Structure 1
């Protein structure tokens, strides 16, 4: 127990240090929070076996009324400690009643006692973080996941193949205890292959200032004409502040070796409070290194948001430059990489 307590303390200290660094320079910080989760199986049909979840009056009707494991004060110390990515289905026994397309595991409609899992984790957010924005990012949860923070219902994602983000900023106890709870229901299948069950990919905590590039807010596309690549950048800037703000954008493009090959600046403009605005920019690359299956050359676009001389956000967007590739040819070449007969030479 002492070792577990020490580990929890170190996790909290690490998050606090990362947070303090982020507050000092006002830039975004992205921290992977895969360790330190608690896990237990619930039940798909019986609330009593699902830790009485859903039995409290108004648990969906009032803010902060999450019950059972969704409540912040739920006692989860008897639960098993796990790190994610985690798949509880792979640990289950095989069953003749299991789906042949899903590994014959005892999970799904006929196994309600094995088809719901709960995850809980504490977050240490320093008091100095108040005023910043905090977002949980789930790369993949299978499936039908519901996210609660400090008893507040915040998000539901039905698909097990779609990553998603949850803005938790307005529900945090800055300088106090915070609890994330995730209920995962793997009763229903989505494919005809083994799909598993649980938080099977990474989880991230991203913090930014109120003025920042929105999630998935940087989109890059390139058109190749001869020895020139024209690069178009579309950026969505989000202002979560309580008043309008002004900003300018700067873009810096680096080739696979890290050399700067193009720059662009967009003049200052304004964005209203609690709103977004889209900004487009053009860059040109001479003699671009083209992406292909054999030589996957990757460029990096660095986008910086400035308020006057102050840098308030910065993100990197990796991408490749290539000519249009026919989908069939791409698939054929991918297969030929693994099935090429001896002595066979494919055309470029």
Structure 2
């Protein structure tokens, strides 16, 4: 819905909301919602729906747009009288309007922003109350699948009349060394009572456990500061605490602390707020990249959209944690939250697990990318969004940069520097401890003056410009804010293999030789060379870590934009491929950019990045698979990704030659291998010594199914998840690469099959379906326990002609 000025203010700007005269019967306190569906939050209504071929591929072919209502009945006890009660919404897509007992009390326009609504004057203690939230996701407002609904957590927070404003807590560490640290704490205390009060405020510092909770005795404590607060007054208190030999937060050892702010009145504790934080020092240097606690740390990063594959946009802690675990295995130490603020829990995970984060605010400013996108709200809402964003996330040690935008049209406009400076000044006023960046796709924005509005410059897909930028801006740090955008389908290979990046199409899939990309992008190797030749570059953020819903380049909407091919020749080849396929409607639901597919299965590129980002880990990976009965006697090139510096390839025991990596080479290639069934083996070396070995074999036919759970014991809380991989194997237990049988999953016990997937970007089977084809031998089932379950759950998978398999899950 367009900007509506008549909704009540909850910040310095009015949000969008219902039009005058709209029937708001669902907001009424008396409305009978007994026939409505009962559901748990977070919730994404779009991902529950069937895929719709007619919907644009760029948003994932799921019906995410439209108006929806959520209702909640609340009973407040008499003890709640006099308390301050606040509704906290971590994220709602979008244009929220909040009604309390039928009365409009607030809302927020930006669907990715957390916001609060004070319900104190509306809710009645000792009575039943109603809350209703109206959401309106406009069509044509997103370039990818955004999801729809209350897709992040919603909280009801009760405090006393004298209370700490948690969203205005600010903890940072202005002085850090191995010997000592200064912790600066700013707390804002408000008095919402009808009379004046005398408030005493103090702060204690504790070590934190894995959940960010204080443990042990205080490491430091301030004296009490006392202040008289008039009714409605707000007072800020500043504290500085000294710690000796502090445990530092680092990507290798993410130690955390907790600042506990205590507010007392007349010797009685009135409020307490715990603020987890990390003691660490960050710096960007124009000639030496990013430094953490005094040492250079190369940014080995990926960009991530906010959806969680088959779970859609509804945030789940375990699903996000699984993604981070897989990324860490590859060597990732950094995330860019493209192109919007993340769920608060994601930053809690990065704090705990030791990832650094570029926290991004907007995909658009004043100029539209889609007709109904955020540009409509930017004039009235950008300041409120920027301040709320920084205040919410500035205490997270994992956040190292604030990115105010991505690929903005303003980068090449005269107005651009003014808009950028305005946002930068807002951000700096809320947090002077971190620098500001953008993701810039426009080459000249690094030279036209725009670059001077940020503290660290990010180039999207410009490795060939790094040297020129550094010569022109010798004091401005630089990194690759988006890199590669290589596209591939897991386990799909196209012949002949060419180095034409517009090639590699195989039906509605892209070959997994990792050589293919849109015209603006490149293979990973090109970016690697750009960084190795320009050591001042702080690192990169690959587009993307995981496939995501929507933006299915090269198969976006129709034949006219297939692959966004840059040259007439490439467009002609693409059109010819489409004609062969016999359709102008493209089926893809999800992207091809990920290093992991949508189900979280590794593509070949995983081992290429791992070999670069974990060079100390002996590794070798061969591609393609070796099941090609139709290619006997034909040239079938073989690539090897290894952390070694050379390798020898053997086919059925015969050496096919030893190759050594040259300067600027990151893979080893045997381009003239003639296929014959059997076994391919690679022996990798490092400085002449045996380093790693790997092999691929021609398997037998599919005979069996296997199930493997990432965790066989999970919490029975209705939220924790087990991710279970089904593999189609031969009699020897080897995955059969091209097998795609139809699988059926069944649950026995107090559990629920939450979703299934297979990583196939063209699969339109509902994520809620218990039946799904394997895609190149693999499929995924996501299972949870019902709340309070005490008995185990058995997941079984069957397929016609194959021996079944089952796995047992236990509650804890």
Shared fold (TM-score greater than 0.5)? yes
Deviation at 1:309, TM superposition (A): 1.2
Secondary structure of the corresponding residue to residue 265 of structure 1: coil
Tell me, in whole angstroms, the C-alpha distance in 2 between the residues paired with 1:107 and 1:256: 40
Secondary structure of the corresponding residue to residue 78 of structure 1: coil
Match of 1:231 in 2: 183
Match of 2:800 in 1: none
Q: Which has the higher contact order (CA 8 A, sep 6+)?
A: 1
Match of 1:105 in 2: 62
Match of 1:321 in 2: 279
Aligned ranges for residues 1-348 of structure 1 at < 5 Å? 67-108=24-65, 115-188=66-139, 191-226=142-177, 227-256=179-208, 258-259=215-216, 260-326=218-284, 329=290, 332-334=299-301, 337-338=331-332, 339-341=609-611, 344-345=615-616
Tell me, in whole angstroms, the C-alpha distance in 2 between the residues paired with 1:139 and 1:188: 22
* Mapped contact 2:169–2:187 kept (Cα < 8 A): yes
Q: Deviations over 1:55-101 (max 9, x none)?
A: 86xx8xxxxxx931011111211111111111111122322332322
Indicate how the Cα distance of structure 1 residues 310 and 54 shifts in structure 2: closer, same or farther if over 3 A, else same. same
* Mapped contact 2:107–2:117 kept (Cα < 8 A): no
Indicate how the Cα distance of structure 1 residues 340 and 130 shifts in structure 2: closer, same or farther if over 3 A, else same. same
* Mapped contact 2:176–2:280 kept (Cα < 8 A): no
* Mapped contact 1:54–1:68 kept (Cα < 8 A): no
* Mapped contact 1:266–1:281 kept (Cα < 8 A): no
Tell me, in whole angstroms, the C-alpha distance in 1 between the residues paired with 2:139 and 2:224: 48
Tell me, in whole angstroms, the C-alpha distance in 2 between the residues paired with 1:67 and 1:191: 27
Indicate how the Cα distance of structure 1 residues 184 and 298 shifts in structure 2: closer, same or farther if over 3 A, else same. same
* Mapped contact 1:306–1:313 kept (Cα < 8 A): yes
Indicate how the Cα distance of structure 1 residues 295 and 267 shifts in structure 2: closer, same or farther if over 3 A, else same. same
Most deviating of 262-271 and 160-169 = 262-271
Q: Deviations over 1:196-229 (max 9, x none)?
A: 1000111111111100001413110102343211
Q: Deviations over 1:84-127 (max 9, x none)?
A: 1111111223223323222111343xxxxxx1111001001012
Q: Deviations over 1:122-169 (max 9, x none)?
A: 001012211111111111111111100001101121111111111101
Indicate how the Cα distance of structure 1 residues 169 and 206 shifts in structure 2: closer, same or farther if over 3 A, else same. same
RMSD: 2.3
Tell me, in whole angstroms, the C-alpha distance in 1 between the residues paired with 2:273 and 2:208: 17
* Mapped contact 1:140–1:160 kept (Cα < 8 A): yes
Indicate how the Cα distance of structure 1 residues 291 and 310 shifts in structure 2: closer, same or farther if over 3 A, else same. same
Indicate how the Cα distance of structure 1 residues 340 and 301 shifts in structure 2: closer, same or farther if over 3 A, else same. same
Indicate how the Cα distance of structure 1 residues 244 and 334 shifts in structure 2: closer, same or farther if over 3 A, else same. same
Deviation at 1:333, TM superposition (A): 3.7
- Return 5+ residue gaps in structure 2 as ranges: 1-17, 210-214, 291-296, 303-329, 333-608, 618-812
Tell me, in whole angstroms, the C-alpha distance in 2 between the residues paired with 1:256 and 1:312: 23
Secondary structure of the corresponding residue to residue 105 of structure 2: strand
* Mapped contact 1:135–1:169 kept (Cα < 8 A): yes
- Return 5+ residue gaps in structure 1 as ranges: 1-52, 60-65, 109-114
Tell me, in whole angstroms, the C-alpha distance in 1 between the residues paired with 2:141 and 2:233: 35
Tell me, in whole angstroms, the C-alpha distance in 2 between the residues paired with 1:144 and 1:188: 13
Secondary structure of the corresponding residue to residue 90 of structure 1: helix
* Mapped contact 1:250–1:266 kept (Cα < 8 A): yes
Q: Deviations over 1:273-305 (max 9, x none)?
A: 112111101101111111112211110111100
Tell me, in whole angstroms, the C-alpha distance in 2 between the residues paired with 1:55 and 1:255: 52
Secondary structure of the corresponding residue to residue 216 of structure 1: helix
* Mapped contact 2:202–2:262 kept (Cα < 8 A): yes
Q: TM-score of the superposition, structure 2-length normalised?
A: 0.33
Aligned residues: 280
* Mapped contact 1:145–1:158 kept (Cα < 8 A): yes
